Amino acid sequence: MRLSSIQLNQFKFSAAFEKYNKFISENPTLEQILENPSTPDQITVGSKILISYLTPEMVRQLLTFITVEPSESDSPARIHTYPFVSSLFFSVECGALLDLVHSDQTLLENLLNFLKGDAPLNFLLSGYFAKAFDILMRSNERKLLDFFYSQNYHFFLLNHIYSQSIADIAYKCLSSSFTFKQQRTEIIDILVSKLTVDYSPLVALNSQNIICRALNDCFPGIEYLANEAVISSFFQNLKSENREVVTSSAKVLLSIFAAFKEESSISLKFLLQIETIRDLIFKVEKTLKNQAGCEATIIGETKLVIMQIINILCGAHLPEVGRLFKVAEIIPKLTELFESHDWNSLLHERYFNIVESIIYSDSQDLQIALLEDAKLPQLLIRLGNSPYVQYGRALIKRGSMGYVYKIANLLISSKNKGIIEDEVINKIEGWASFEKEIVEVYNRVANSELGAIYNFESASSEGNNETESSNLPVFTDSDNAQIEPISSVSDAQGFGGDETASEYFENVYWKVEFDLNELEEI
C-alpha cells in the first residue's frame, strides 16, 4: 500500500520521536543532548520527556552557556553549538522549565549576572540573554521584575544599552505596569545622562529611541522630561561636535515638545533656548560632490528636526514667539534654505508646514517676518518664472516646484478668506501676473488631470481622419459641461516645451472617463 505524503511524514516523525526517547532513556549528559542534531526539533515541539529530564543543575549550565563567553581554547561545540541550542530552550513557552527558573533565585541570578559583566558584552550572547529575559517576562512578569528591581539590576542593564538587544529589554522594563514611578524615573534619568559625548553613538541612538518611545506611549513618570533642567541639558547637547549626540538630542526635544505641546509652559521653556535654535538653523553644512561632479550642500537631519520644533512653536499662539523669531531672523533663513535646496523634499515639506502654521497663527510679527522680511511672495514669483536649473550639462526642473505652487495656493486662499490682507500680497510687483498666468494655469492642468471625467474610447491617432484636437481627452466637469481641451502643456510654466507636449498629445491612444466620486466609494 502506498502511503500519502502526510502519512509518510507522520511515520518519519514518530520514528524520530521514538529514537529520541530511546536516546534520553540512556541518561545522556547535557553536552550530549546539546550535540544531538534532533534536540532543536524536540525543543520546538515541546518534548515533555526532554524537559522533564533536565535537572536544576542542567538548567544552570544552560544559563551559563548563554551568559558566559567561551574562551578561544574551548571546543567548537562550546563556542558555537552549546550557546545556540541552549538559547532555544528559552525561546519557547515551556511552562515547567520557566517555572523552575522563577522558583529558584540562584538560577535567576545566574541569568541576570550577565548584566554585571564588563563592557562591551558579546553581542551574540546579548541576543540570547534578551530572548531568555523576554520569555521569562512573558511567563511571570511581576515575579521577574520584583527580583530584578530589588537587586538593582536595572542600573547594570543601563550600562550596556549600546547593544540593541539590551536596549529593547530596557524599554520593556520601562513600559511594564509592574515598574513603579521611582524606578521609571531612575531609568529615564540615567538615559538622559547617557545622551552626551561621554558615550558612544550607539548609546546615544538607543537612549534616544527608548526615551522617544516612552514619550509617545505616555508612561507615568515621563513628566520628569518636561523639567526645565532636563530640557536645558538636551539643548546643551545640541552644541556638541558629535553629530549622533546632536541629532539624538534634537529628536528627544521634538518628542518632549510634541508630548506636552498643550501646556503653554513647555513652549516658554523652548523659547528660552532661541539662540541655540537660531545657531543650528544658521549653521553651514558640508558640501558634497556627487557622481556627476555637481556639488550639493546637505541640509542635515538635525535641521529638519529643529524645523519641526519651530513649526510647533509657530502654532503655539504665544506673542513671544513672533517677537523672538523676528529678532532672531529665523524665518528669512528658513526661506533661504527652501530656495537653495532644490531636491530635498523633506525640507520642502517642513517649510510648507511652517508657512501654514504662520499663516493661520494670530501673530502679526510672524506674518510680517514671512511675507516682508523673508520676501516669500517675491521668491515664489522668481521660482515660478524660472522653474529650471542648470545641473551639470542638463537643464532640470526644480524639485521644489510642487511646493512653490502649493505655497502660492495657500497664500491665495488665505487672501481670499481674509486671513491675509489683500494689499499685503497684491502690492507686490509681478504677483497679479504670477497668480493668473502661472498658478491658475497650473491649477487648471492639475484639476483636469485629477478631477475630470474620462471616457474609455480607443482613440488611436493613427489611421483616422479626426483632427488633432479631437484626439485630445474630452474633459467634463461634475455638471457634465465640457472643458476646453488643453492643446499644449507648455502654456503652464515648467510643464515642458511645445515639442514634448506635441509628442504626447499626438500619441493619445485612449480617452479615459473617470469619476473620482465613484473611486472614493470603491
Tens digits of per-residue pLDDT, 344-400?
999 999 999 999 999 999 899 999 999 999 999 999 999 999 999 877 677 888 999
pLDDT of residue 214: 92
Q: Which residue has the higher pLDDT, 452 or 138?
A: 138
Phi, psi of 5 (to 5 degrees): -65, -35
The confidence band for 287, taking pLDDT boundaries of 50, 70 and 90, is: confident
Most confident of 19-28, 162-171, 278-287: 162-171
pLDDT by residue (tens digit) across 184-238?
999 999 999 998 877 788 999 999 999 999 999 888 888 889 999 999 999 999 9
Distance CA 421, CA 226 (A): 38
Greater model confidence, 201 or 490: 201
Q: Mean pLDDT across the stretch 401-420?
A: 93
User: Span 166-175, mean pLDDT?
Assistant: 95
Q: Is the predicted pLDDT of residue 463 greater than 50, yes or no?
A: no
Those residues with Cβ within 8 angstroms of residue 56's Cβ, 6 or more apart along the chain or in another chain? 100, 104, 107
The model scores a pTM over 0.95: no
CB 66 within 8 A of CB 86: yes
pLDDT for position 88: 94
Q: What pLDDT score was predicted for residue 13?
A: 55
Amino acid present at 481: A
pLDDT given for residue 515 in this prediction? 52
pLDDT band at 509 (very low <50, low <70, confident <90, very high): very low
65 vs 219: CA distance, rounded Å: 36
| 3 state SS of 230 | helix
Residue 46 has pLDDT above 60, yes or no: yes
* pLDDT (mean) for 493-507: 46
Instruction: Please name which of 459, 435, 440, 445 lies closest in space to residue 490, comparing C-alpha atoms.
Output: 445
Confidence bin at 478 (pLDDT 50/70/90): very low
User: Is there a cis peptide before residue 120, judged by omega within 30 degrees of 0?
Assistant: yes
Q: Which of 429, 412, 314 is nearest to 360 (CA)?
A: 314
Mean pLDDT of the chain: 84
Higher pLDDT, 291 or 389: 389
With bands split at pLDDT 50, 70 and 90, how would you rate the model's confidence at 522? very low
Furthest C-alpha separation in the chain: 97
Tell the residue number behind the cell numbers 536645558, with chain if given. 232
Contact predicate 69/122, CB 8 Å: yes
pLDDT at 8: 52
Residue 69 has a pLDDT of: 93
Summarised one tens digit per residue, pLDDT across range 297-341 is 788 899 999 999 999 999 988 889 999 999 999 999 999 999 999
Q: Is the pLDDT of residue 4 over 50?
A: yes
Those residues whose C-beta lies under 8 Å from the C-beta of residue 338, and which sit 6 or more positions away, are: 347, 348, 351, 379, 400, 403
Annotate 480-516 with three-state secondary structure: CCEECCCCCHHHCCCCCCHHHHHHHHCCCCEECCCCH
Helix (H) or strand (E) holding 307, with range, is helix 301-314
What pLDDT is recorded for position 94? Answer: 84
- Rounded-to-integer distance, Cα 425 and Cα 428, Å: 6
pLDDT at 497: 47
- Decide if pLDDT at 142 tops 50: yes
Query: Please, which residues bridge with residue 506 across strands?
Result: none
Q: With cut-offs at 50, 70 and 90, classify the pLDDT of residue 5.
A: low
Instruction: Grade residue 465 by pLDDT with cuts at 50, 70 and 90.
Output: very low
pLDDT at 450: 59
pLDDT band at 14 (very low <50, low <70, confident <90, very high): low
